[in-house]
A and B are shown apart, each in its own frame.
Chain A
Amino acid sequence: MAVPVMTQLETKLSAEHIHMTFTRDGKSTPVLNDVNLEVAKGEFLCIVGPSGCGKSTLLSAIGGFLSPTGGEIRIDGETVRGPDPRRIFVFQERGVFPWLTVEGNIEFGLFKLAREERARRVAHYIKMVGLVGFEKAYPAELSGGMKQRLEVARALAVNPDVLLLDEPFGALDSITRLIMRGELLRIWREERNTVIFVTHDIDEAVQLADRVAVMSGRPANIQKIVNIDIPHPRDISAPRYLELRNGILEQLGLAHQI
């Protein structure tokens, strides 16, 4: 079952009948079972699902780091065959290079550009993520939130069409996480990349996404796609917000009362 996308928008990414089976010690474990997904250009899509269901596996396959055992992923109609700077994978803040300064990290992917252009982009993205004054600092001297912003800046500096974020704020404290969500939305509105954001936090998904894809337990497929029809900035106590959030909780089979 292909999930219909908002018809007036151009399709950026499509995943068709994705199957993924891992084989270890002669035992095969199916992880993804017929995943179908379409993502529009410039869309912010969140993928939620129970822990260990294969969300990250799907994202790794979209990034080209794993090839699916069945089905095909296409970006701009072109089949994904490996990692590519046009789609950058953002990890938790652990992915920044500790041996490079803030500037060095942002410049890392820009080696094909002329020096002036590199300097221009580094300055631009340092400003965008609010790290002015820390150009020469090393990651060890930064807080978790700053490292996460640095990693986002390093990704954005190469002008990727697609940003793939794998629970990027999972390791941050709850206050920093809230601030980072706001920052990410602000940056996304400026840059208009297509964003695929994996999280296990349903509130996070409903606060950020245009659409939320809900995955089932393993072997996973996409159970439901929820349109989040609330304009930004979102009021997280509004009835519509709670309704959408509760709908996703219900979809995952979780009661709303503890």
Chain B
Amino acid sequence: MNSLAQPAKWERWLWPLVAAALLLLLWNYSVAWTRTKVFPSPLAVERGLAELSRKGLMWAYIGDSLRRVALGFGAAAAVGIPLGLTLGWYPAVNQVVNPVLQMLRPISPIAWIPVAILMFGVGETTPVFLIFLSALFPIVVSCVSGVSGVPAIFRRAGRNFGLTAPQLLARVVFPAALPQILVGLRIALGIAWLVMVAAEMIAVDSGLGYLVIDARNSGKRYDLVVAAMLLIGLIGLALDLCFRRLREIRSIRWGFRDES
């Protein structure tokens, strides 16, 4: 086997695992050597996770966080995809709406917290709204650029075969833009997962974001803080991996051929 060959499957798993193990060791010995009283060791975090699991809080909190992200992200996709397709399809409308979008886009969803609480009060709707807002803009932007990037010859071929405008949108423009739209959805899901943590810190009393702030405030349980951080990281990674699998669908894969 030469060096250009694809690494074997076990090798692709082995080395990242070795790296993770080394990092855990580094963490463990850093805590031991500095004799810190505040920062927990990996073992302490593991015990914290076991405690959460025993109390039944771990799965309940994971479920709550996932539900809020699913609702907010789902709503953002349901609103953002049609909106983005429309804006991409009618450049004149886009010219009118785009400045407003571009002005709203750089406002961090965190800045919306007071407004969200004013509108929806303290409760379930506020974090879902913040997640929705954070996911909406990347989805709209990717749909607009996906649609306007559809090569003219595809549209022309569609018109040549006698497609009406709605048919052209459904059978040519949407599938041609789909790889780009998926990129936007994936970015949006990543952002939604980030914003979930902040949103749960302020408006609700369950979920992984709540766990971070609650563990610190009620008794400085830094083992639980780090445990929550680990869970957030691992679930975020899992979500992203699931999304990446969509690229393997054959009617989409053509749009990702240059990437590994």
Contact = CB atoms under 8 A, between A and B. Distances in A.
B253 A63 contact: no
Binding site secondary structure of chain A: loop
A97 B153 contact: no
B178 A99 contact: yes
B119 to A, nearest CB: 41
A89 B252 CA distance: 26
B175 A109 contact: no
B151 A109 contact: no
Given A84-B162, A85-B161, A158-B161, A65 B257 contact: no
A108 B161 contact: yes
Given A97-B154, A97-B172, A88 B252 contact: no
Interface in B147-166: 151, 153-154, 156-157, 159-162
A190 B175 CA distance: 34
Contacts of A109: 161-162
A99 B176 contact: yes
A88 B161 CA distance: 7
A98 interface: yes
Contact of B162 (A65, A85, A89, A139): A85
A139 B251 CA distance: 10
A112 B178 CA distance: 25
Given A97-B175, A100-B251, A91 B162 contact: no
B254 interface: yes
Contacts of B172: 97
Contacts of A98: 254-255
Nearest to A136: B250
Interface string A62-82: 010100000000000000001
A98 B257 CA distance: 11
A174 to B, nearest CB: 24
Contact of A94 (B153, B250, B254, B257): B153
Interface size class of A (residues with CB under 8 A): 20 to 34
Contacts of B178: 99
Nearest to A110: B161
A134 B159 CA distance: 26
B160 A83 contact: yes
Contacts of B175: 97, 99-100
Nearest to B175: A99
A65 B156 contact: yes
A91 B152 CA distance: 11
B252 A99 contact: yes
A111 B156 CA distance: 17
B38 to A, nearest CB: 54
Nearest to A63: B160
A67 to B, nearest CB: 14
B156 A89 contact: yes
Contacts of A85: 160-162
Contacts of A65: 156, 159
Contacts of A97: 154, 157, 172, 175-176
Contacts of A112: 162
Contacts of A84: 160, 162
Contacts of B161: 85, 88, 108-109, 158
Contacts of B171: 108
A138 interface: yes
A52 interface: no
A212 to B, nearest CB: 25
A140 B257 contact: yes
Interface in B183-204: none
A138 B257 CA distance: 13
A94 B159 contact: no
A95 B154 contact: yes
B164 to A, nearest CB: 11
A169 to B, nearest CB: 16
Nearest to B157: A95
B151 A94 contact: yes
Contacts of A91: 153, 157
10 contacts: A63-B160, A82-B159, A83-B160, A88-B161, A89-B157, A91-B153, A95-B153, A97-B176, A138-B253, A140-B253
Smallest CB-CB A-B distances: 7 pairs = A109-B161, A98-B254, A99-B175, A85-B162, A99-B251, A83-B160, A83-B159
